């Protein structure tokens, strides 16, 4: 998490709020105080000036009421004397007017040409309109850069109350406004100091509030990382302290829930990981969020490719199903065919919907089963039943036909009866061989068989079997023997191995042309401790596509010819079961038109003569 800058932190915000509140409060108080102060000082100044003017007006009225002759001073001289005796520092100019607004005299010598003239100022006009009232006017003198007050006060006779004139006073208010400026400066300084103190106090108070919050923020970061060991320090029992206590309780509960969830997750992961069946989980949109290794192997995809991929695309169902269709297949399953390394696997997929309490679909679980072997077994079972039915039906039909013919009179025919009885006997023997082979295979399938094992010198046994076939063969086929003289002993059931050899050699004779050759080989692999026994003919051979199938039950490359030669299609299947029961293996190599080679292996031990002598 990024560190919060000071100007974005709650410390600064708290201090700023305190300062702003203080500034607003001081501004309101300051504006009100300054206005009231200014009003009070101005009114006080006006009252003081008016009182002084009243005294001056009385003295002037006394001089204007005196009787005068040639020996007494003039009115102007008397008024000038009064004005000289009543000077004030802030008084700039005093004019004495008669009742017609003519200037009788003025206090200073500047602008003396106005004496004896009328004053046309608006304040004088207002006085003439209402001579009973004192008029004043305050304004700023731009020319002299000062604030001044003009006051016009009437001069009345004490006896007759007759209006004798007026006194025009021009006074400076710089002292008043200087005081206001000084007080404003003091107020500003006090405001600055208050702001500094308030800001410092705000930061301190903000720290007392925000420090627990910062601690809880750090705790939240640690919780996000999965660290539940850290605890928030409780600084008090106020609301923040209660919040810190609740935060610690929440941390404990989250830790318990995390441990429980993690335990369940590990259990589920273990179950899913060790399942032999494939498991796929999707989100509510059908995108894959989880799949185990068996699913990857069964579907032949990589984890990186499968994750976030739509399940319909992964299963190859885009052309037939949507994700919504799959949500409706809870009681059904789908069968898929997946090609892998040239082989086709058959998979069965069952679906289960993940739902919340209110029935909201949160995703889908798909469980994949590999039913390739099961399908193969079912197919083989069906083919086996069909083949057995077919193999039994053919001789039974033949026997029934001939028996019906004999019953209808052919028995009396000395030429036909022997032939019909011979065919019936051959078909009966064929059925007996078929049933015996089936019983033998059934024993192998059920493991209900026993071998009478004994140590046999296999090259000698091989030669005996070859000699027997060479003495009884009817067609002209040469036997080529490549059998070692050295003794190699194998622990086998001699009858079963002879049956295997009889089966392989009989097949080689059946398919060998006149004048052909059959090659018998016995080779020893000392490193593997195995004997390799092979029988090779020069017959028509087996197509490449049928090589791996000739050891299957009832499988025939050329069914018509095999049946004509009396085969059941079970000989090589029985041979395979017997060889594998002896710990060996069997396979075929063939090329069409050039013959077939059947090879099988048996474990061996070299020369046990000493053991036989000791025994």
Tokens of 248: 């610690």
- The pLDDT value given to residue 562: 47
Name residue, tokens 């029934």: 400
User: 11-180 sits in which CATH class?
Assistant: alpha beta
Is residue 354 within 8 A of residue 365, CB to CB? The reply is yes
Nearest alpha-carbon partner for 52 in 197, 156, 184, 171: 171
- Angle, alpha carbons 542-543-548 (nearest 5°): 80
Distance of CA 385 to the CA centre of its chain: 54
Name residue, tokens 């709650």: 10
Q: What is the pTM of this model?
A: 0.41
Distance between CA atoms of 597 and 587, rounded to whole angstroms? Answer: 9
Helix (H/G/I), strand (E/B), else coil: 513? coil
Per-range mean pLDDT, top range of 230-239, 346-355, 389-398, 434-443 = 346-355
Distance between CA atoms of 61 and 419, rounded to whole angstroms? Answer: 185
Distance between CA atoms of 297 and 294, rounded to whole angstroms? Answer: 5
Tokens of 254: 């989250």
Domain-by-domain residue ranges, the chain?
A: 11-180, 275-365, 376-445, 453-614
Q: With 90 as the cut, is the pLDDT of residue 386 above it?
A: no
Q: Is the dihedral of CA 558, 561, 563, 566 positive or negative?
A: negative
Helix (H/G/I), strand (E/B), else coil: 137? strand
Could you report the per-residue pLDDT of 157-205, keeping only the tens digit for each? 777 777 778 888 888 888 888 888 888 888 888 888 887 887 777 777 7
Distance between CA atoms of 579 and 598, rounded to whole angstroms? Answer: 12
Q: Residue 582, class by beta-carbon neighbours within 10 Å (0-12 exposed, 13-18 middle, 19+ buried)?
A: buried
pLDDT tier for residue 112 given thresholds of 50, 70 and 90? low
Distance between CA atoms of 164 and 473, rounded to whole angstroms? Answer: 179
Starting at the edge strand found earlier in the chain, the sheet holding 517-525 runs: 478-482, 517-525, 530-536, 595-603, 586-591
Where are the alpha helices (H) located in 135-173, listed in sequence order? Answer: none
Q: With 60 as the cut, is the pLDDT of residue 486 above it?
A: yes
Q: Which of 40-54, 490-504, 560-574 has the lowest mean pLDDT?
A: 560-574
- The pLDDT value given to residue 536: 92
pLDDT tier for residue 609 given thresholds of 50, 70 and 90? very low
DSSP letter string, 356-371: -TTS-EEEEEEEEEE-
Mean pLDDT of 312-335: 80
Q: Is the dihedral of CA 391, 397, 398, 400 positive or negative?
A: positive
Q: Which of 186-200, 205-219, 437-451 has the lowest mean pLDDT?
A: 437-451
Give the distance between the most distant pair of CA atoms in the chain: 211
Could you report the per-residue pLDDT of 31-71, keeping only the tens digit for each? 888 888 888 888 888 888 888 888 887 887 777 777 667 66
Is residue 410 within 8 A of residue 419, CB to CB? The reply is no
Please give the backbone phi and psi of residue 99, each rounded to the nearest 5 degrees, phi first. -70, -10
Distance between CA atoms of 519 and 481, rounded to whole angstroms? Answer: 6
Could you report the per-residue pLDDT of 583-607, keeping only the tens digit for each? 899 999 988 888 899 999 999 876 5
Could you report the per-residue pLDDT of 346-385, keeping only the tens digit for each? 888 888 887 776 667 778 888 888 888 787 777 767 766 6
Q: What is the β-pairing status of strands 146-156 and 103-106?
A: unpaired
- The pLDDT value given to residue 127: 64
Residue 469 contacts by C-beta under 8 Å, 6 or more apart in sequence?
Answer: 479, 505, 509
We find that the CATH architecture of domain 275-365 is 2-Layer Sandwich (3.30)
Distance between CA atoms of 508 and 498, rounded to whole angstroms? Answer: 15
pLDDT tier for residue 560 given thresholds of 50, 70 and 90? very low
CB atoms within 10 A of CB 328: 12
> What is the Cβ-side half-sphere exposure of residue 164, based on CA atoms within 13 angstroms?
21
DSSP letter string, 424-460: HHHHHHHHHHHHHHHHHHHHHHTT-----EEEEEHHH
- Angle, alpha carbons 181-185-186 (nearest 5°): 120
Mean pLDDT of 291-306: 83
Mean pLDDT of 514-521: 90
Q: Which of 282-291, 474-483, 512-521, 604-613 has the lowest mean pLDDT?
A: 604-613
Count Cβ neighbours within 10 Å for each residue of 185-204 and write b for 16 or more, e otherwise: eebeeebeeebeebbeebbe
- Fold held by 453-614: Heat Shock Protein 90 (3.30.565)
Q: Do domains 11-180 and 275-365 have the same CATH topology?
A: yes
- The pLDDT value given to residue 521: 94
- The pLDDT value given to residue 60: 79
Statement: 376-445 belongs to CATH 3.40.50.460:
no
Mean pLDDT of 326-344: 76
């Amino acid at each position: 998490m990024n560190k919060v800058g000071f100007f974005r932190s709650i410390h600064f915000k708290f201090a700023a709020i305190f300062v702003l509140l203080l500034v607003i409060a001081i501004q309101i108080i300051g504006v009100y105080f300054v206005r009231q102060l200014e009003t009070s000082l101005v009114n006080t100044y006006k009252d003081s000036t008016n009182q002084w003017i009243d005294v001056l007006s009385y003295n002037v009225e006394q001089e204007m009421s005196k009787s005068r002759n040639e020996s007494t001073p003039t009115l102007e001289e008397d008024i000038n004397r009064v004005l000289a005796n009543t000077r004030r520092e802030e008084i700039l100019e005093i004019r004495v007017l008669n009742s017609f607004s003519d200037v009788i005299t003025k206090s200073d010598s500047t602008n003396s040409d106005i004496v004896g003239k009328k004053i046309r100022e608006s304040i004088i006009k207002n006085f003439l309109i209402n001579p009973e009232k004192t008029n004043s006017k305050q304004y700023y003198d731009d020319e002299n850069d000062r604030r001044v007050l003009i006051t016009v006060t009437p001069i009345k006779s004490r006896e007759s109350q007759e209006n004798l004139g007026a006194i025009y006073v021009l006074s400076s208010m710089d002292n008043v406004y200087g005081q206001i400026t000084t007080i404003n400066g003091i107020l500003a300084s006090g405001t600055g100091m208050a702001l500094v103190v308030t800001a410092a106090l705000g930061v301190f108070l903000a720290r007392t509030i925000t420090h627990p919050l910062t601690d809880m923020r750090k705790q939240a970061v640690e919780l996000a990382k999965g660290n539940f060991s850290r605890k928030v320090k409780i600084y008090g029992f106020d609301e923040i302290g209660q919040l810190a206590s609740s935060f610690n309780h929440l941390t404990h509960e989250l830790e318990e829930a995390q441990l429980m969830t993690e335990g369940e997750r590990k259990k589920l992961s273990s179950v899913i990981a060790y399942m032999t069946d494939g498991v796929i989980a999707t989100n509510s949109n059908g995108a894959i969020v989880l799949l185990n290794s068996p699913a990857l192997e069964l579907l032949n995809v990589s984890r990186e490719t499968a994750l976030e991929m739509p399940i319909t695309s992964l299963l190859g169902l885009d052309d037939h199903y949507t994700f919504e269709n799959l949500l409706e297949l809870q009681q059904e399953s789908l069968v898929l065919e997946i090609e892998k390394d040239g082989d086709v696997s058959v998979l069965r997929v069952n679906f289960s919907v993940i739902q919340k309490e209110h029935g909201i679909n949160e995703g889908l679980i798909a469980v994949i089963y590999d039913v390739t072997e099961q399908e193969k077994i079912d197919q083989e079972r069906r083919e086996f039943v069909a083949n057995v039915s077919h193999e039994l039906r053919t001789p039974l039909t033949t026997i029934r036909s001939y028996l019906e013919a004999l019953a209808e009179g052919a028995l009396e025919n000395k030429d036909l009866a022997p032939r019909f009885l011979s065919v019936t006997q051959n078909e009966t023997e064929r059925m007996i061989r078929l049933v015996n082979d089936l019983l033998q295979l059934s024993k192998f399938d059920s493991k209900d068989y026993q071998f009478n094992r004994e140590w046999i010198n296999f090259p000698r046994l091989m030669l005996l079997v070859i000699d027997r076939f060479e003495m009884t063969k009817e067609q002209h086929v040469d036997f080529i023997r490549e059998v070692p003289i050295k003794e190699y002993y194998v622990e086998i059931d001699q009858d079963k191995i002879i049956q295997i050899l009889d089966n392989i050699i009989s097949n080689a004779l059946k398919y060998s042309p006149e004048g052909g050759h059959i090659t018998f080989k016995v080779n020893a692999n000392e490193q593997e401790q195995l004997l390799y026994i092979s029988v090779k003919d020069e017959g028509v051979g087996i197509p490449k596509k049928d090589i791996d199938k000739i050891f299957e039950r009832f499988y025939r490359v050329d069914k018509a010819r095999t049946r004509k030669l009396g085969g059941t299609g079970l000989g090589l299947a029985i041979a395979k079961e017997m060889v594998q029961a002896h710990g060996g293996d069997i396979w075929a190599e063939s090329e069409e038109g050039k013959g077939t080679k059947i090879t099988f292996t048996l474990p061996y031990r070299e020369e046990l003569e000493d053991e036989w002598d000791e025994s």
